[in-house]
Every structure is written in C-alpha cells, then in structure tokens.
C-alpha cells in the first residue's frame, strides 16, 4: 500500500481453463480479480481461444464505464502464446516469449532476456526463478516470495 508492504506472500497467478491457461496480474488485487473473472468468462465464451478472449476483454475494459476505472494489468499464457492485456485496449504479444508486468517488470524482463540468451542450459522455470530473484534484489516493491506455475 503505497510504499508499505501490506502482504508479502500474495499469489498473483491463477490457472484457468482446467490448467491450460495461466494468468498473472499486477496492480490492485480487487480490480485484478474482477478482470480475472471477466477473462475466464471470455475464455469460456470463445471456446478457450486465449487471443480472442483477450481482445474482447480489452475492448470491454476500455469501453465499459465500470471496467475502465480498474487499475491492474494481466499476463495470460498457454503452451502456444503469451499475451499482456491492459486497460488501454492493448493486447501485446511480447518479443522473445518473455513478458513481465508490475513494479519489478523491467528488471525481471531484462534478466530473463539475458538468461535466455546466454544461459541456454537453463529451463524456462529456472530462468523465471532467477530473473524474479534478480528483480527482487533491485526493486523495493518486489520480494523473494516467488511462486512459479507451469503448464
């Protein structure tokens, strides 16, 4: 809350579609849960098509008077793609299959890109853990309570 840690072990990742889609969030927790519910509804309405569901959510998020006040961001991933979804109507497919959101995003993303490029012997999970640890060492709003979900 502001510059104070209110809860250091929040799980900001959820599995949807019977574990086929992982969604992470940054920002207001209550807002993110609202968006997660809407995204799950969109996934169900579009037969699990993650990109279509993300586009429909982004359109609603931007145009709906209630939703556009929500302050959060989402990352959605399945075995084929990663998407970053924002309230400005963006649905972004990141370069190099690496995406990050939140306060430590640029630190984690930079570390992940470097590890992916120069430490090819690391698994995807190892890259995530190490890049998050590096971000936690640098960003005052990121901590070492890291939860990793795999598909």
Looking at the structure, tell me whether residues 107 and 150 fall in a common domain. yes
pLDDT in tens, the chain (151 residues): 666 666 677 778 899 999 999 999 988 888 888 889 999 999 999 999 999 999 999 988 888 777 777 778 899 999 999 999 987 888 999 988 999 998 889 999 999 999 988 877 888 899 999 999 999 999 888 888 888 888 8
Residues paired with residue 13 on neighbouring β-strands, in sequence order: 24
Tokens of 11: 């799980």
Q: In whole angstroms, what is the distance from residue 79 CA to residue 58 CA?
A: 21
What is the extent of the structural domain holding 109? 95-151
Residue 35: inside a domain: yes
Residues paired with residue 26 on neighbouring β-strands, in sequence order: 73
| Predicted TM-score of the model (pTM) | 0.84
- Domain tally for the chain? 2
Kindly state the DSSP code that residue 135 receives in the 8-state scheme: H
Residue 41: inside a domain: yes
How many residues are given for the chain? 151
Q: Which residues, 6 or more positions from 106, have their beta carbon under 8 angstroms from its beta carbon?
A: 100
Tokens of 105: 């995003």
Looking at the structure, tell me whether residues 88 and 107 fall in a common domain. no
Q: In whole angstroms, what is the distance from residue 100 CA to residue 78 CA?
A: 15
Query: Which CATH number goes with the domain that contains 78?
Result: 3.60.20.10
């Amino acid at each position: 809350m502001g510059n104070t840690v209110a809860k250091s072990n929040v799980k900001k990742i959820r599995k949807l579609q019977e574990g086929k889609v992982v969604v992470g969030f940054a920002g207001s927790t209550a807002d993110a849960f609202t968006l997660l519910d809407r995204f799950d509804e969109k996934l169900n309405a579009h037969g699990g098509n993650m990109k279509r569901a993300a586009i429909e959510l982004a359109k609603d998020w931007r145009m709906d008077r209630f939703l556009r006040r929500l302050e959060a961001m989402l990352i959605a991933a399945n075995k084929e793609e990663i998407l970053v979804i924002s309230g400005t109507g963006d649905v972004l497919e990141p370069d190099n299959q690496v995406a990050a959101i939140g306060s430590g995003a640029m630190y984690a993303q930079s570390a992940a890109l470097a590890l992916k490029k120069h430490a090819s012997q690391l698994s995807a999970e190892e890259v995530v853990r190490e890049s998050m640890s590096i971000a936690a060492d640098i960003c005052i709003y990121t901590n070492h309570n890291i939860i990793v979900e795999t598909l």
